Structure formats: C-alpha cells, structure tokens
Structure 1
C-alpha cells in the first residue's frame, strides 16, 4: 500500500465518523466533523448559519446606524435590543447539527458583543440600604384591581410614589387609598405624585401634546430638597402600514429633556412611563443627562412591560446630581399592564 492510499483511507474514515484504529466520536466528538457525503468540509458547511450570526453581530454593534427614516426601524430595534441575544442559542443548535466549525466561530461574534453590551446587567449591583425609596407605576386606565394596586404601593414602603394614567373614579380611589400612608400629594392631568415628605413648587411640563402628562415638583426630603419630575410620554404603536410610530413621543422627549436641562435644583429625579428604553436613541434628550437606577443598581434587565410577559423596560427611574441609586427592582404584578418599578437612593453631597 502506498502512502497516498493510506492517507485516502484515513481521510475517508474520519469523514464517515471513524477515527484511525476503529475509534469513533460522539455527537460532539470526531464523528461527522470531516467531510460529509457530498464532500463538504466542516469549514464549508453551515455558511447560511454563519451569515445569520454575523448579521446579528452587525445589528448589535451598529444598532445606532440603523436608520429611523423607514418605519422608525432603528428605535424599534433598540427597544428590544437585548432579545437579539436569543439568536446565539437558536443558531447554535443547527450549527452543531451541521457540525460546522465556520458557524460556531461566527457565533462567537454576537455572543461576545451581547455580553459586552448587556452582561453587566445580569449581576446584582445593589449597594445596601438607601436613605429613601421611590416607586413609579403606570397604573393603567383600565386597571382590573385598583384596591390591590393601592395595597401593593403602600406595602412597597416607598417614601415617594409617582403614578401615571390616572383618571375618573380611579383617581379618587388612589387619593383616598393612599392618603394615610402619604399625607402629601399633587396631581396634574393624568399623572400624580404621593409623598411622605412635603411637596411644593408644582408646575406642569409642556410635552407639546395639548394636555398635561408631566409636571415638576420639589420634595423636601430629610437630606435636602429634590426636584422630582413625573412624566408619561406619548404611546408608541407598531402598525403594518406605518411601522413603529414614535414621532409624538420623540417630540415630547425633547421637551422633557429641555425642561430637565434647565432645572436649577442640583438633585433631580425623573419617574415615569417613557414608552422607550435606555437604548432608544430617540430618548437621548433625557437619557444623555440622567442615570438609570436599573443600570446602576439593579439585578437583571428589570423589564416592566407588558406585565404578563415583560419584554422591555419602558418605565424608568432616573436621577442626576448627588443621588446614588443603591437598589432597583420591579414590584409584583397587579391589575395594571405594567409592573411598578422601585429604586432606593442614598443622598450624597
């Protein structure tokens, strides 16, 4: 037998799953990782899977470059950006079944990029007890259990509570139900603020909507005054004919950002339903100047909507100035389609 004949036999054996000497590999061993029945090597198989992996990596790395000109695709992508990570395990299965080394190497790209973007959110960043706790909750105009929502808010032991989508009989129920726990409150339009500390300087913030869905107030905490903004930015819609409709929300986000930028008080809190995530570029007028409690002190993504299966954190607690978030979490589900979000703050100089 010539050396060439011997080499051909070894190559054929490895391609059919038999290693030299009669040994065979298991599912993740040597079997099938050579050439397949059509002569394709492990480096030539799974190219479509590899391309999908690279596309996922490109979207993660360059999501800010996806244009908003058509259907606001950029904002839509950024709203659900963490979920792109699911592409890695989904593509891993066919990559292994195809025994494609190319696909497996390509999958490292989105895996590393996702870990770089969101891996830090998976660790518990809480830092002990705060001076006081705040809660923000879109209680929903069609809340199916207002008494239960009130009980949950009182049980949170928060010192400051901001509510959105207040209207009609429900508003009166919240005013009555929260009165004992929170002796101070202010309501402007459909948003309200309840506090254990005195509230003053209440003034509406014009979100360019034609009615009031935001205001600014000053809360006299034991550690000093804090400017508190309560806001409910316009809703967004996903429609087949027009895509992700966010124009009115973006106008209101700019107006809210301008108001916060002009704030004279050093310590500032923003509580509300912003109908957008911290990743959404269109909320930059707000997010560029404030710190997210969830990002700084949370444990996990803290998704708040929809409450039945949370997929995005559109309810935000943010701060700037000498306010340090030391804890962030969501509260148990109640009669709203949103989860309430809570954060504890430590007052620093």
Structure 2
C-alpha cells in the first residue's frame, strides 16, 4: 500500500502592524505640544535665563516645527499624525495669519522713519541720503556715534531744518520741534522726547534705544537691563499729557515679548494695524525678528513697512500716520 501524504496547511500570519489611525502617536503628541506652546507662551517661565522672552522674540518661527513633524507623519504613514498637525497649523494661523496680509492704505498726514544706524556704520552719509530719499517728514536715529553726528547733520540739513541730538539718539524733522529733552532710561542718554508741530497739530514723539540683549550659555537671555529700561520708558509715557503720541526706536525686543507688554498695553504697533507681512528688521542680512518698532496712540497708522538695507545691521522701519 502506498501511504498518502496530506499537505500541511500553514495558517496565515496575522498583520500585527498598527493601523494608520494608531501609528504616529508620538508625532501627534508633539503636534499638540507645539500648539500648546503657541497658545501658552505667556506662561512659559522667564526663569531661568529669561527663557519666556527668548521664545517670544522668535515666536512666529515656532510654526516651522510643523515641518519635521509633517515629514515624520508621512514616513510613518499615519493618518492620526497628519490630522493632529492641523491643530498647530490652525493655532499659528489664528495668532499670526493676519500679519501675512497687506493692510497698507493710501493717504495719511506724515511719515516717520526710525533707524538704528549702527555706530560702526561704514557709510553714514549714504545712510542719511537713503533715509531722506524715503520722503519721510520725521527721521529718528539711534546708536549715533558722537564723531559721526556732524555727517548726519550736514547731509540732512537741507531737507530737515529742525533737529535735535540727545546722547546717542536724534530726530530730524521738516516740521518745527519744541520741548525736546532727554528721557532717563539708562545712566547715559539713549532716549528723547520732543513735540513735532505738524500742520494738523502737535504730536509727542519719543525716540528710544533700549539696552542690547545677548544669549549666553552661562546666563541665558541677558535681557534684565532692557527690561528695566523699558519700565522707565513706560513711566515717561504715563507722564506724557499729549493726546497724540508716537514712540519709535530699537527696542531689542518684539511686540510679542512680555517685556514690552507695558508698552503695548498703552500704544499699538503700527506694523500690526497697517503692515504687510511681519516686517522683520534684524539682522539686515537675513531679518529674523522685528526689534525696531513704531508704536502709536491717538493717531491712526495708514501704512507700515521696512526700507532697503543701509550700512547698518538693522533695516529702517517706516510708518505713515493719519492725524
């Protein structure tokens, strides 16, 4: 007899890989954390090393965290992760999407330009000419080097007959100036206050240059001096009786930085109301943050923009205002 061999049936191995809605949980968790970071940045502690202020200086760039998460979600082929990425994208859009639109309009009564000219500027004359070519009625300069002030004065004299330099800041105007005086925010003068007599009435103009900040391994974000100066500047603003106030300068901080919250609680940023994009102003070679500001109260911003680079490491910022 011949034995009959029965074929051995091997049962199929079940697919134990998680489904597309179960993969990518780690990516999804990071997406939620990114959204929470955008929403809860005011509660990120400033200790140690002013970490909260450092985050807020570059807050719009946190949206880039979505890109590596998107790549990870695609690699994992995770529907869960992809859907989760909508959360930080929507939060970022709610926080910053409005800044992407062009809100500039025509009209206005006068234009003001503010520029940190850099005390190592190799071409003060060219910088002054470029600012004058903007057509602004008021030009405010910060980080003026004493030995270079005559070059700015001579270059701007014809178009701006009224001017005042206080310490390392100055203002030039086609309109008359009066009541000009230094504002004490540091042991040496880095801020001033003046009245600009426009054809539609007086406007109080403050020009300020807050102390520089640095990121150091041993100390973190060294912003304490800037924050103290901002407090003294707010005291001067509170004492200002004029109903129309314009504050310009290099604040070494963005309008999102909690250190400038006392300023933004009293005045609004012209760039937010009438700008086109984020208006980053520093560094000039690859702008990453808007630390040069034009704040207003009692006047309406019509347009706000940055000017082309000069010999400085900052871009000039400008705004047209309606009285």
- TM-score > 0.5, shorter chain as reference: yes
Cα distance per residue 1:149-168 (max 9 Å; x no partner): 11210110000010000013
Name 2:313's counterpart in structure 1.
Answer: 337
In the aligned structure 2, how far is the partner of 1:339 from the partner of 1:117? 24
Partner Cα separation in structure 2 for residue 239 and residue 205 of structure 1: 29
Tell me, which stretches of 5 or more residues in structure 1 are unaligned?
Answer: 1-7, 13-34
Count residues in correspondence. Answer: 313
Q: Contact between 2:146 and 2:168, CA under 8 Å: does it hold in 1?
A: no
Indicate the SS of the match to 2:120.
coil
Stretches of 4+ moved more than 4 A in 1?
none
Note the residue ranges of structure 2 that are not aligned, 5 or more in a row: 1-10
Corresponding residue of 1:263: 240
Q: Tell me how far apart the structure 2 counterparts of residues 346 and 84 of structure 1 sit (CA, whole Å).
A: 34
* Counterpart Cα distance in 2 of 1:121 and 1:234: 27
Superimposed CA distance per residue, residues 273-323 of structure 1 (whole angstroms, 9 cap, x where no aligned partner) = 0110110011112111001110000000000000000000000001101x1
SS at match of 1:338: coil
> What is the match of residue 86 of structure 2?
108
CA RMSD of aligned residues (A): 1.5
Q: Which residue of 2 aligns with 1:214?
A: 191
Q: Determine the C-alpha separation between the residues in 1 that align with 2:104 and 2:114.
A: 18
**What displacement does 1:102 show?**
1.6
Match of 1:89 in 2: 67
Shift of 1:87: 1.3
Q: For residue 270 of structure 1, give the secondary structure of its aligned residue in structure 2.
A: strand
Contact 1:75 1:281 in 2 (8 A): yes
Taking structure 1 as the reference length, the TM-score comes to 0.87
Q: Deviations over 1:202-225 (max 9, x none)?
A: 111110x21000011001001100
* d(CA) in 2 for partners of 1:288, 1:90: 36
- Aligned 8 A contact 2:140 2:248 in 1: yes
Q: Distance in 1 between matches of 2:69 and 2:239?
A: 48
SS of the residue corresponding to residue 299 of structure 1 reads coil
Question: 1:203 and 1:286 mapped to 2: Cα distance?
Answer: 20
Aligned residue for 1:154? Answer: 132
Deviation of 1:119 (Å)? 0.3
Q: Distance between the aligned counterparts of 1:144 and 1:60, measured in 2?
A: 40
Matched, 1:118 2:96: yes
Which residue is 1:273 aligned to? 250
DSSP-derived class of the 1:264 partner: coil
State how far apart, in whole Å, the 2-side matches of 1:232 and 1:345 are: 21
